[in-house]
Each structure stands twice: as structure tokens, then as C-alpha cells.
Amino acid sequence: MGNLDGKVAIVTGAGRGIGQCIALKLAAEGAAVVVNDLDEGPAADTASAVEKVGGRSVPVAGSVTEDGFAERFVGAAVEHFGGLDIIVNNAGYTWDSVVQKMTDDQWDAILDVHLKAPFRILRAAQPVISQLVKSAQSDGVPVPCRKVVNISSVAGLGGNPGQANYAAAKAGVTGLTKTLAKEWGRYNVTVNTVAFGLIRTRLTSTPAGGDGSIDVEGREIKVGVNPDLLATMERSIPLGRAGSPGEAAGAVYLMCAPESDYVSGQTLICAGGFNI
């Protein structure tokens, strides 16, 4: 028996890294999981990994920024698993530049993926959650506590040079979270944010032999942190190291577990003690 038996979760950006670990953690606790990734292959891989450990999952590939994606994503949870209990807005990437060199495209792309996409998903989920609550009340059964976890960053709390777009988007996530916590309390939904510090993923780890990059909808985005800079960053963390994707997923799980049913509108910092 898991803490999330019978729950239905949707997780964006779940094909790799932190998102994949979140999906697997929720599934290990009993939740059915709708997994999203920009690419079909990683989304299918995570869904398969969930099923291999005895969970239920379905992949939904596509960009979270596409028109109509939010409705399709939320609809998959209802169509395949009959409900919606947990929403994790995790998808994202960074596209850095100092402000005087940052283009409108850079600004818009990062605001779209980190702030507009979660807004659209939550907007699409509202009618579904409202109807589920009304059905429970009509049937005379208790309304279960549902969960929203929006992923943020310490950059959104304290800023970070070269990341005006990312920091602004993540600061916006805090405002979105606090507002939805007040709007959705009447549905017995808790809405919280988990702000990550330095986590070792493909976005922070530079491959051997030089710079790395990823393709995001036709854009080549440089990723990775210079090893010397990475070592310096780790020395500023009281725990003395970057976090792992599994540890990041654990922090998200805390906000999904029944033990946090009376915690809402909060930001949990998962940063190894890093002082912002």
C-alpha cells in the first residue's frame, strides 16, 4: 500500500532527469501517472519504466507551450484514469544571457515555458477539479485533498546573473502559487512551490570534451556549467554538494503526500541549505 494509492498525477517534463524521478516516485507510492515530454521517445521510456515497477502510466508527448496542449494533457488523465489528483508543473529549461544581450525571443520563450504553460494547465484543470468536487459532494462522500506542485528555483527567490528571464518567470511562479492556493482552497486543493538549488542534471553537467547543447523546438540551447564554476558553487552549499534528481523528486513528493494536507501557498527550498 502506497501513500498515493488511487491518485492520478500529471507531470510535465517527465521524460528525463528530475521529472522522470518525480513520475517514478509518485508511481512507487501508488499513483497512476500521465507523463509528458517534448519528445515521444523519452515520454514513452518513462511510462514504460513506471509500468515495469508495477505502476500505471500513459505518455503525452508535446510542447507544454503549444496551443491546446493543456487541455489534451489534463484530458488524458480523465480519459485513461478517470480523475485528476496531483499536478506537477516541472517542464522547463534555461536560455541565459546578460540583460543587454537578451533577445525578445529568449525572454518570451522562457516566460512561456516556465510561467504561461503552468497557468494554462491549471486553467484547464479547474473545470475538471470543480466537477469532481461537485460529484463527491452530491454523492455524500468526503472531498479528497488534491495537490498542485509548481517547480521554481532559488533564482526566482534571489535572482541570478545572466538569468533575468528565468528568474522573472520563477518569481512569477510564486505569485501564481499563492493566488491559486487562495482560489482553490474551497476545492480542498493545496498549491505549493518547490524551489530547487543546484541539482545535477543534463542542464548543469557539462559533457566531457567541451560545451553541451540541447535542441528545444529547433533552438540550439547551450547547457552545462563550467566544472570549476560548478565546484565553486558546490562549496557554497552547506551540504557541500549538488543535489541529485532523486533528492529533488523527494522534495516534490513531500508536497504530494497526505502529511502535507494542511500546507498550502508555501515555497519549499530544496537547495542543501544554500542561503539565498
**pLDDT 10s digits, 211-269:** 677 778 777 777 767 677 778 889 999 999 999 999 999 999 999 999 999 999 999 99
Banded model confidence at residue 42, pLDDT cuts 50, 70, 90: very high
Assess if residue 219 is contained within a domain.
no
Residue 62's domain spans which residues? 8-199+244-270
Assess if residue 223 is contained within a domain.
no
User: Residue 215: what pLDDT?
Assistant: 76
Assess if residue 50 is contained within a domain.
yes
Whether residue 208 has pLDDT greater than 50: no
CB atoms within 10 A of CB 197: 22
**Total count of domains within the chain:** 1
Over residues 25-53, mean pLDDT: 97
Assess if residue 29 is contained within a domain.
yes
**pTM for this entry:** 0.94
For the record, the C-alpha cell of 272 comes out as 542543501
Over residues 104-123, mean pLDDT: 98
- Cα–Cα distance between 121 and 127 in angstroms, integer? 11
Q: For the chain, what is the mean pLDDT? A: 94
User: Residue 218: what pLDDT?
Assistant: 75
Whether residue 75 has pLDDT greater than 50: yes
Assess if residue 220 is contained within a domain.
no
Banded model confidence at residue 275, pLDDT cuts 50, 70, 90: confident
Active-site residue (options: 166, 187, 253, 262): 166
**CATH code of the domain in which 163 resides:** 3.40.50.720
Over residues 120-134, mean pLDDT: 98
Min mean pLDDT across 17-21, 110-114, 186-190, 223-227 is at: 223-227
Q: What is the DSSP letter of 158?
A: H
CB atoms within 10 A of CB 53: 10
Q: What percent of the chain has pLDDT over 90?
A: 86
Whether residue 110 has pLDDT greater than 70: yes
In contact, 271 and 195? CB cutoff 8 Å: yes
- Cα–Cα distance between 58 and 80 in angstroms, integer? 8
Min mean pLDDT across 52-66, 138-152, 184-198, 203-217 is at: 203-217
Q: What percent of the chain has pLDDT over 70?
A: 96
Tell me which amino acid residue 148 is: V
Q: What is the DSSP letter of 199?
A: B
- Cα–Cα distance between 109 and 270 in angstroms, integer? 25
For the record, the C-alpha cell of 240 comes out as 557541500
Assess if residue 168 is contained within a domain.
yes
For the question of residue 166 being annotated catalytic, the response is: yes
The closest alpha carbon to 245, from 207, 199, 198, 195, belongs to: 199
Assess if residue 1 is contained within a domain.
no
- Cα–Cα distance between 14 and 90 in angstroms, integer? 8
Over residues 47-55, mean pLDDT: 95
Assess if residue 254 is contained within a domain.
yes
User: Residue 143: what pLDDT?
Assistant: 98
Residue that the C-alpha cell 538549488 belongs to: 197
Separate counts of helices (H) and strands (E) for the chain: 9, 9
